[in-house]
Structure formats: C-alpha cells, structure tokens
C-alpha cells in the first residue's frame, strides 16, 4: 500500500483532540525550506521575544495520548519528506543528513506523568530550567560569532564595531521588556562607551580635549585666586614695629629674601591704594622709607641710589627696574654689511648650531642669539669680520645720527669702536671719520676692530675732548658724543655699579658731560652744505642729572635746538623732575629701560646747531650736589650802578675840596701881605713826556 493512502487513513482515525493540539507542535520544514550553511539565522530580536514568551508562560503538561498522536504525525511527515527528497540531486545528501540532525534536536522529549501534584510542579521547574539552558547555549553561540569579527587576514589588527542589533539586545536584556529599543543603561555601559569613543578619537581630538580640561582647571584656579586677592587687598597691612626692626638690624635674626620680597610686595599694594589700605597713624613717608630699606637690602644696592630711583621712577617701577637689573640681557650681534648680508650670516651661524632670530623690526642688521654650541666671539665668521658683538641700545645713537656717504664725522668717545664701525658701515666707507678717545690703551681695541671689519675711512687719535672744540672749530658735518657716565643703565653687565657709584659720582660725571657737550657743539659746522649741523648726545645711564639737566644746560649756552631722533620706540624724556623744570622740547629725547624694552638703560638726544652765536654767559658755579649756580644779570647791573654812584660821589668831594682851597687863598690875600722868597726860579718840565724831544733837522 502506498504511503499517501496510509497517512490519510491514520488522519481519519486520529481523535479530534490530537488534531486540536496539532497547532502547538512545531512542524518540520520542507526540504526546500531547510536551513543551509549560508542562510542567516533568525534575528536576535525574534529570539528574545521567544525567550520572553517562554519565561512568562508556565510549562504545559500534555497527556500520553496526545504525545502518541503527535509522534505518529511526525513519522508520517518524515516518510513523505523522504519520498519527495528522492527525486532531488545526489549532491544534497550532506544537507539531508544535517536536516535529520536538526529534526532530532527539534523533536520534543516525552514527558513522564506524575502521580502527585508536587511532582507536576517539579517537572514544570525542570522543563523551565532546560529551556533556560537552551537559551544560554544560544547566547553563547551568538557571542562566539560576534567575537570572531573579521574572518580574513585583517582580523588580527581590525576591531569590529559593535552592531546596532547587539546594542539593542543588551538594552532589551537590561531594560524594560515592553520597549524593543531598551530603557536606561547602567554605569558600566556608559564607561565602556566612553572608552570606545576615546579609542576612536584622533590624536588631535584627544589633545584638544585635554587642553579644554586644563583650561577649565585654570579658570577655576583663577577664580579662587581672584577671591583671595580681593580679600587681601581689602585688608590693612601693618608695618613692622621698631622692636622688630631693631632685632633685624642688630643681627640677632637674619631676614630671608622671601620675607623681604613679601614685605616689599605688601608695601607696594598699600601705596597703590593708600587711603583704604594704610595703617591708622602712619604716614606715606614711613612706608616709602621702609620700602627703600628693604629694596636696598634685597638687591644689594646703596640706599641713596634706591632713593634716587624712587624719586625718578616711582615705587612699582623701581622694584621692576632693580629686579630686572640682576638678569642678563640677550646677546645681540650686528651684521657688517661691508662684508656680508644678514641672511647669509644667519644661515652660516645656524649651520654651526646657533639658535637666533632677527633683533627687531626697527633694525635691519641686528640678530638676537638665544643659544649657541660654539663661542660666538670665536667663529670663523667673527674672525673674518662678518659681524661684531654690540648691544641693541648702542645701535640707537648711530641710527639717530644718520650719517651720509661723504660726511665728515667726529666720534668724541670712540673706544672700543662699535659705533665708529657702524657709522662707516652706513657711510659705505666714503667720507672721513675721526675716532677720538682720551686713553691710548682703549684705542688699541678700536684699531683692531676697524681692521677686522674692513673700515678704511677712519682716523684714530687721542685727545682730551674738551680741547677739540677750540682746535677744530666748525670742522665737522656730524658729531657723535657717547659721553662717559656712571653706568646706572648697565647694572646687569657690571653689578659693582650698585655698590661703588654714589650720587657724588653722578654729579661729577654730569659736570664733565657739560664741558664735552659744549666742545662738541663748537666743533660742529652749522653751515654745512651736505645737510649737516647735527649731533647726537647719548649716555648709558638713566639718571636725570646726566641726561636732561646736561642738555638743558646746553640750550642755555648755545644757539641750538632739540629735534626728533627718528626712533619710534622708547619713552620720552622728562620735562620736570622734583622742583626743576626743563625745556618742553625735552620730550623729543628718548629713554630706554631694561624692564620695559629688554635693553640696556640708555638715553639719546639729537641736537641741531643753528648758528655760531653764543648766548650771554654768566658766571657759573657748582654747589656740592653739582647744580649750576648762575649770577643773574640784575645783580651785575646793580653792581655797575653802585660803582658809578661811588665815582660820582668822589668827583663831588674833589670839587668841594678845590673850592674850599680857592676860598682860603682869597682870604689870605687880604689879611696878610705876600711873602717874597729869594731864590732861583725852577724850570717848567712836562711830566707826561718821558722821552727827549726830537731835534729839528738843520738845513744845509
């Protein structure tokens, strides 16, 4: 009998209950719908739904009759499937074997009927555990497939990105059951996502995040510091008592530099807001005296110099000036354009391991050196004369002078030849330069530098600059006077200035500078046809007694005026200092400070000679401080008037005496007869004629 008819009879004989339960039994798929190797498995979401439905619904216990009917139906369906698969190709044998194995896995296991109710509950729990175990096996298989990632050769170094389905699965397991896309995530998941995001970021993005975090911390610290400063500024600072100061001066306790610095900063804050921060009963002079003493002790400077700086610059700027004075200035070299260009020189020095940059926009020949592996003063380029070591401030006077090719220039204080060589460089070795200096030993360095740099238009000499004016009057088109000074602007190069220089030395230098300046103006030709008649006065000091006072003295003695130096940087000169008032044109002069311009302290003034006329010179005397004492014209006029009045009185007295004598003679004539004296008459002689008279020549 064929298998088809046999299956129909059994279906007709089977009870109705078995047909009803037929829906709950999973049917085996036909051969055409069998699972193949390359066909993807069911999606994770559907598996999750099945698991949830299986967990939420209780296990059903079926009767043995139902189980037997279900087994018969499965056998019939298996036989029909075998007959249909016989017509397929022989190559599908492997697939059929795999399908049979799957059928064995899918076929339900028979349940054993329990005798009691308790037994049924145990069976239900066992079935639930088996289902959960199957679910765990499925999860493990899915995880293994996901861990594999890439199957090609790049699997060793490529890391697959977590798929959205896996993310949804994790969210479904840990979130609500009703929402397919999951609810909230735990802290561990957030950390994992952050770690993955950081790994996916580029280096630039990671660095930018780090910078943002640093900026945020800096902002928080700045706010805290601001609150601290506000609280400190509103507080009142108390000066140390006399007992504490006596202990410090006696030497029982050594005050550390940190305490001195802190005290100086506190006093500066009080002086900045004196009304609200001062201690009751304390005057401003007490704070200034305490500040001056602390600064002198901290920086190792004389008290009188610190007091002078306080009067000239103020408390805050004086502290900055003295603090920067202990630090060295940057090393600067000037390119000698007579032999090389700055571009080529910079390239040659960089090859030797020198780190450098252009000096500033205002200089076309300067180079600033930060670091060098070789001594800068002993390179082949230096020995060849391609450059010279020169500070940035000492270039400014030559730039202000502006010499032209063919000029006659006088450098009154030339040693060691840095400015003289720069003048020759600007003149292109055309013209005449007189390089003068008082000491012959210093001129040796001048001659050596001029030879090394290739200067051929200079003549060196050794004379006192105060005598050059009368000897070489109106002989030069331009004059440069870098006068000898106290050196208060170059403390970083010579720290001994802070201890050795006194205010008496400063005033003594000012007197010498006035004499040199007058001689320099006398040697200048006001009627120069080459556009000359200019001179530059410069010092390496910041003292007013050596700068503004000297120039103001020149304005009162010669017919000159101050012109613009042509320097865009620098601070203007003082027009007033203490009780002294200077000419308004003094603002055209330029001052350079180390704490402002990172240069040596310097002063530059450009002067134009108008004519050779000299103003009325009064008698000049100097007091102990070096100030000029003038005898005014009114006093001299009064003296002249007094002398004239005395002469008139004397004449009147003489006339009266003569008249009295005449009256006496007239009286004697009438009272007494004249007395005759017998004797030889004396010859009249001319008292004025001391030489004998010439005899008239006789005619022959």
Query: pLDDT band at residue 236, thresholds of 50, 70 and 90?
Result: low
User: What value does the mean pLDDT take over residues 220-238?
Assistant: 75
User: How many Å apart are CA 626 and CA 620, to the nearest integer?
Assistant: 11
Give 389's strand partners.
333
What pLDDT shows up at residue 305? 93
Encode pLDDT of 101-115 as tens digits: 444 444 444 444 444
Q: Smallest Cα–Cα separation from 295: which of 275, 271, 273?
A: 271
Angle between helices 440-453 and 418-427 (to 10 degrees): 40
What pLDDT shows up at residue 667? 53
What pLDDT shows up at residue 224? 87
User: What value does the mean pLDDT take over residues 177-195?
Assistant: 53
What pLDDT shows up at residue 112? 43
What pLDDT shows up at residue 69? 60
Query: pLDDT band at residue 226, thresholds of 50, 70 and 90?
Result: confident
Q: Name the strand (E) or helix (H) holding 607.
A: strand 602-614
**Domain boundaries of the chain, sorted by first residue:** 233-323, 330-390, 393-619
User: Catalytic annotation on 396?
Assistant: no
Range list of H helices, 352-430? 380-383, 396-401, 418-427
CATH of 330-390, one of 1.20.140.10, 3.20.20.370, 3.30.70.1170, 3.40.50.300: 3.30.70.1170
Mean of per-residue pLDDT scores for the chain = 74
Query: pLDDT band at residue 227, thresholds of 50, 70 and 90?
Result: confident
User: What value does the mean pLDDT take over residues 32-60?
Assistant: 45
What pLDDT shows up at residue 102? 46
Beta-sheet pairing, 366-372 with 354-358: antiparallel
What pLDDT shows up at residue 243? 72
Those residues whose C-beta lies under 8 Å from the C-beta of residue 490, and which sit 6 or more positions away, are 497, 540, 600, 601
Q: Does the pLDDT of residue 644 top 90, yes or no?
A: no
DSSP of 272-284, one letter per residue?
HTHHHHSPTT--H
Range list of H helices, 414-502? 418-427, 440-453, 465-471, 497-500
Would you call 221 exposed, middle or buried from its count of C-beta atoms within 10 A (0-12, 13-18, 19+)? Answer: exposed
- CATH code of 393-619, in short, is 3.40.50.150
Encode pLDDT of 61-103 as tens digits: 444 445 556 666 677 676 666 555 555 444 444 444 444 544 4
Considering only residues 332 and 129, tell me which one the structure prediction assigns the higher pLDDT.
332
Encode pLDDT of 449-487 as tens digits: 999 999 999 999 999 999 888 888 888 999 999 999 999
Q: Does the pLDDT of residue 188 top 70, yes or no?
A: no
What pLDDT shows up at residue 585? 93
User: How many Å apart are CA 404 and CA 414, to the nearest integer?
Assistant: 18
Encode pLDDT of 680-694 as tens digits: 455 555 544 555 555
What pLDDT shows up at residue 160? 53
Catalytic residue among 396, 485, 540, 605: 540
User: What value does the mean pLDDT take over residues 5-24?
Assistant: 46
Encode pLDDT of 559-597 as tens digits: 999 999 999 899 999 999 988 999 999 999 999 999 999
What pLDDT shows up at residue 528? 84
User: How many Å apart are CA 365 and CA 358, to the nearest integer?
Assistant: 8
CB half-sphere exposure, 454, CA atoms < 13 A: 17
What pLDDT shows up at residue 274? 81
User: What value does the mean pLDDT take over residues 220-231?
Assistant: 82
DSSP symbol at 464? -
Considering only residues 555 and 275, tell me which one the structure prediction assigns the higher pLDDT.
555
What pLDDT shows up at residue 572? 95
- For 429-539, list the strands marked E by DSSP: 432-436, 458-461, 478-482, 534-539
Considering only residues 632 and 514, tell me which one the structure prediction assigns the higher pLDDT.
514
Those residues whose C-beta lies under 8 Å from the C-beta of residue 635, and which sit 6 or more positions away, are none
Considering only residues 558 and 281, tell me which one the structure prediction assigns the higher pLDDT.
558
What pLDDT shows up at residue 695? 54
Q: Which of 273-287, 403-417, 464-478 has the lowest mean pLDDT?
A: 273-287
Q: Does the pLDDT of residue 642 top 60, yes or no?
A: no
User: How many Å apart are CA 61 and CA 65, to the nearest integer?
Assistant: 12
Beta-sheet pairing, 458-461 with 432-436: parallel
Give how far Cα 690 sits from Cα of 242, 685, 686, 695, Å: 87, 10, 8, 15
């Amino acid at each position: 009998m064929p298998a088809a008819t046999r299956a129909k009879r059994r279906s007709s004989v089977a009870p109705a209950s078995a047909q009803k339960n037929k829906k709950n039994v999973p049917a085996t798929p036909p051969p055409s719908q069998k699972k193949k190797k390359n066909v993807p498995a069911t999606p994770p979401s559907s598996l999750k739904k099945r698991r949830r439905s299986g967990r939420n619904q209780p296990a059903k216990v079926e009767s043995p009759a139902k189980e037997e009917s279900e087994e018969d139906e499965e056998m019939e369906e298996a036989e029909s499937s075998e007959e249909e698969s016989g017509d397929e190709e022989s190559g599908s044998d492997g697939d059929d074997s795999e399908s049979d194995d799957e059928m064995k896995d899918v076929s339900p296991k028979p349940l054993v009927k329990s005798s009691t109710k308790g037994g049924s509950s145990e069976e239900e729990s066992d079935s639930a555990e088996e289902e959960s175990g199957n679910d765990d096996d499925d999860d493990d298989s899915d995880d293994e497939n996901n861990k594999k990632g890439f199957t090609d050769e790049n699997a060793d170094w490529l890391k697959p990105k977590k798929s959205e389905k896996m993310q949804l699965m994790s969210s479904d397991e840990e979130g609500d059951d009703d929402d397919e896309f999951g609810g909230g995530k735990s802290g561990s998941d957030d950390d994992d996502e952050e770690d993955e995001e950081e790994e996916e970021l580029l280096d630039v993005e990671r660095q930018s995040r780090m910078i943002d975090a640093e900026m945020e911390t800096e902002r928080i610290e700045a706010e805290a510091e601001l609150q601290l400063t506000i609280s400190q500024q509103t507080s009142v600072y108390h000066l140390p008592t006399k007992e504490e100061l006596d202990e410090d001066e006696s030497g029982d306790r050594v005050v550390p530099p940190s305490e001195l610095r802190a005290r100086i900063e506190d006093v500066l804050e009080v002086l900045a807001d004196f009304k609200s921060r001062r201690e009751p009963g304390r005057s401003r002079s007490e704070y200034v005296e305490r500040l001056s003493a602390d600064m002198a002790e901290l920086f190792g400077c004389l008290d009188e110099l610190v007091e002078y700086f306080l009067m000239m610059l103020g408390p805050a700027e004086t502290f900055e000036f003295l603090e920067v004075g202990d630090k060295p200035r940057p090393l600067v070299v000037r390119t000698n354009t007579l032999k090389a260009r700055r571009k080529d020189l910079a390239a040659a020095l960089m090859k030797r391991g020198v780190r450098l940059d252009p000096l500033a926009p205002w200089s076309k020949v300067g180079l600033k050196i930060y670091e060098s592996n070789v001594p800068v003063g002993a390179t082949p380029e230096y020995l060849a004369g391609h450059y010279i070591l020169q500070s940035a401030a000492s270039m400014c006077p030559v730039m202000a002078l502006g010499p032209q090719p063919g000029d006659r220039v006088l450098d009154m204080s030339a040693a060691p030849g840095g400015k003289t060589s720069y003048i020759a460089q600007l003149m292109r070795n055309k013209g005449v330069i007189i390089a003068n200096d008082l000491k012959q030993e210093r001129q040796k360095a001048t001659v050596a530098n001029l030879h090394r740099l290739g200067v051929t238009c200079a003549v060196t000499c050794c004379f006192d600059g105060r005598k050059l004016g009368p000897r070489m009057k109106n002989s030069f088109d331009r004059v440069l006077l870098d006068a000898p000074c106290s050196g208060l602007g170059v403390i970083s190069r010579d720290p001994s200035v802070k201890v050795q220089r006194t205010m008496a030395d400063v005033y003594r230098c000012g007197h010498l500078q006035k004499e040199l300046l007058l001689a320099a103006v006398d040697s200048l030709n006001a009627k120069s046809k080459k556009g000359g008649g200019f001179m530059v006065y410069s010092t390496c000091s910041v003292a007013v007694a050596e700068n503004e006072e000297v120039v103001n003295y020149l304005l009162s003695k010669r017919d000159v005026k101050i012109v613009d130096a042509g320097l865009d940087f620098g601070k203007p000169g003082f027009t007033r200092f203490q009780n002294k008032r200077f000419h308004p044109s003094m603002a055209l002069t330029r001052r350079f400070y180390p704490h402002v311009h990172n240069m040596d302290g310097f002063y530059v003034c450009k002067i134009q000679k108008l004519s050779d006329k000299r103003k009325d010179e009064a008698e000049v005397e100097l007091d102990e401080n070096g100030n000029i004492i003038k005898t005014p014209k009114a006093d001299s006029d009064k003296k002249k008037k007094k002398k004239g009045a005395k002469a008139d009185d004397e004449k009147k007295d003489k006339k009266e005496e003569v008249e009295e004598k005449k009256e006496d003679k007239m009286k004697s004539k009438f009272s007494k007869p004249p007395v005759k004296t017998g004797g030889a008459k004396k010859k009249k002689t001319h008292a004025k004629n001391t030489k004998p008279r010439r005899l008239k020549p006789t005619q022959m």
